[in-house]
Copies of this chain bind each other. A is one copy, B any other.
Amino acid sequence: MIVQKIKTTPKKIGVFDSGAGGLSVLKSLINSQSFEEIIYYGDTARVPYGNRSQKVIIQYSLEALIFFKTQHIDLLIVACNTISAYGLQSMQQASSYPIIGVIKPGILALENTIKNKDSKILILGTKATIKSNLYQTLLQKRGYHNLSALATSLFVPLVEEGIFEGEILDSTMHYYFKSYPNNPDAIILGCTHFPLIAKSIAKYFDNKPLLIHSGDSIMQYLQKQYPLKPTTNPTKITFFASDNLERLKQTAKLWLNQP
């Protein structure tokens, strides 16, 4: 994984996601009050990416760079685990500014808290993210060996439908988690939709596992990489979408709890 760096503090940043999922990352970026301007781009005309092939994900990711070309951003955050797993490297190679995905920051955030390498870690993600094996490989390299990974694809449409708790989610969790009889010490929410059902996921297990959230992880990571300072004005946010911009804005209002 290539990590590019710039010395200067990023003031205007981009956030790229396949659709609305990246809003959970955007929320952490806004709350940090570290950026003057954020450009959010969701490829809502082709969402979701989670069941697509590597080839198509790379193609779509490179096409997003064409969009960001006119935005003059200092840094781009790939706020989607599937793109971070498959498209990030190609994007980094094709770009002059730094591009950061959510997977490495997630691993580092976990490592900060979970010191015991025997800890039971449960990785959740889309089919594509789990199949990429990236979380698993990076965790193994760091000595974690008690790993389980589950592609919990249905969590994505549930969140898109606005279902964050209740009967359907409970039976869906049971469907996926019945094959995992343990209480995990940590759960990697390896899809940016999943933080919206984090409470329900945590409640499912008895032992209050640590939940790794892509948005919080990437903020921790950025704070280590750059001398970020609080901005005086609220962050200016502009949304772009390849389809249904109004619906994305509606979802943003709902998820971000702000106009």
Contact = CB atoms under 8 A, between A and B. Distances in A.
Contacts of A168: 154, 168, 171-172, 175
Nearest to A170: B171
Contacts of A44: 52
A227 interface: no
B167 A171 contact: yes
A172 B172 CA distance: 10
Contacts of A170: 171
A145 to B, nearest CB: 30
User: Which of A44, A158, A171, A174 has the most B CB atoms < 10 Å from its CB?
Assistant: A171
A243 B56 contact: yes
Contacts of A53: 243-244
Interface in A30-59: 44-46, 51-53, 55-56
B244 A52 contact: yes
Interface string A11-25: 000000000000000
Contacts of A158: 154
User: Which of A153, A154, A156, A175 has the most B CB atoms < 10 Å from its CB?
Assistant: A154
A174 B168 CA distance: 9
Contacts of A153: 157, 161
Nearest to A244: B53
Interface string A137-162: 00000000000000001101110110
Contacts of A172: 168
Contacts of A156: 157
Contacts of A175: 163, 167-168
- Give the 7 A-B CB pairs with smallest separation, nearest first: A157-B157, A167-B171, A168-B171, A56-B243, A171-B171, A45-B56, A46-B46
Given A45-B52, A55-B243, A154-B157, 20 more contacts: A44-B52, A45-B46, A45-B56, A52-B243, A53-B243, A53-B244, A56-B242, A154-B158, A154-B161, A154-B168, A157-B157, A163-B175, A167-B171, A167-B174, A167-B175, A168-B168, A168-B171, A168-B172, A168-B175, A171-B171
16 contacts: A46-B46, A51-B244, A52-B244, A53-B243, A53-B244, A56-B242, A56-B243, A153-B157, A153-B161, A154-B157, A156-B157, A157-B157, A167-B175, A168-B171, A168-B175, A171-B171
